């Protein structure tokens, strides 16, 4: 994973706020800036740059959610970081007010340092029929963690597995996957 000292230095420099909405203390910068910053970090370490890139992209995705969901993430913790995997490698059940999600999301880069995760899921109706590919915004504390990233290259990306077991996700924290 990214060395803690390096991660804290990046956080203190505001690197993880590049794509975060301004109303929560972020910089809401363009994708070009994200790429340039990640390229500069990659000169020192590719795995760390990958984490910077994905955390910023996941912050951008979180900015697509309704304001209530964004408040859930950043209102009380404007420094919250988000990791994610949008592959719908899970199952969901429609329940009153939201969904119950079960699944495993491998290669979740930045998972060591995240407070929240954006995770792909099938959106289903009451009959269990898939109606859409969605993204769920889930607190990291609701997810189990399995260390699975034992590789030689991109070692510092810490791309492990997050696991949901009967996690309730309210409707305001599920959006249709951007197309």
pTM of the model: 0.93
**Which of 65, 51, 57, 71 lies closest to 11, judged by CA?**
51
pLDDT of residue 1: 78
**Which of 106, 108, 110, 137 lies closest to 121, judged by CA?**
137
Residue 126, classified by CB atoms within 10 Å of its CB into exposed (0-12), middle (13-18) or buried (19+), is exposed
DSSP 140: G
Q: What angle do CA 113, 19, 118 make, to 5 degrees?
A: 50
Q: pLDDT tens digit string along 14-33? A: 999 999 999 999 999 999 99
- Do the Cβ atoms of 101 and 136 come closer than 8 Å? yes
State the Cα–Cα distance between residues 14 and 10, nearest whole angstrom. 6
Sheet of 174-176, strands arranged across: 82-85, 116-124, 130-139, 174-176
Q: Give the whole-number percent of the chain exceeding pLDDT 70.
A: 99
What are residue 80's DSSP bridge partners? none
pLDDT of residue 32: 95
Q: pLDDT tens digit string along 97-130? A: 999 999 999 998 888 889 999 999 999 999 999 9
From residue 113, alpha-carbon distances to 54, 106, 144, 170 in Å are 12, 15, 14, 24
pLDDT of residue 110: 86
Other C-beta atoms lying within 10 Å of the C-beta of residue 96? 5
- Do the Cβ atoms of 104 and 162 come closer than 8 Å? yes
Q: Which two tokens stand for residue 49?
A: 């740059």
Beta pairing class for 90-95 and 82-85: unpaired
Asked if pLDDT for residue 153 goes beyond 80, the answer is: no
Longest C-alpha distance within the chain, in Å?
51
């Amino acid at each position: 994973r990214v060395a803690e000292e390096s991660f804290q230095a990046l956080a203190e420099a505001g690197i993880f706020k590049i794509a975060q909405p301004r109303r929560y203390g972020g910089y809401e910068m363009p994708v070009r800036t994200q790429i340039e910053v990640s390229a500069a970090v990659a000169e020192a370490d590719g795995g760390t740059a990958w984490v910077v890139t994905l955390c910023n992209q996941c912050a951008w995705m979180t900015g697509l959610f309704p304001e209530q969901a964004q408040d859930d993430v950043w209102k009380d913790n404007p420094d919250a970081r988000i990791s994610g995997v949008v592959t719908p490698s899970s199952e969901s059940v429609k329940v009153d007010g939201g969904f119950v999600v079960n699944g495993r999301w491998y290669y979740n880069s930045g998972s060591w340092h995240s407070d929240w995760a954006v995770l792909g899921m099938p959106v289903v109706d009451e009959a269990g029929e898939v109606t859409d590919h969605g993204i769920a915004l889930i607190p990291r504390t609701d997810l189990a963690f399995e260390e699975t990233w034992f590789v030689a290259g991109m070692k510092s990306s810490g791309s492990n597995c997050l696991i949901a077991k009967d996690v309730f996700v309210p409707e305001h924290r599920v959006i249709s996957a951007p197309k």
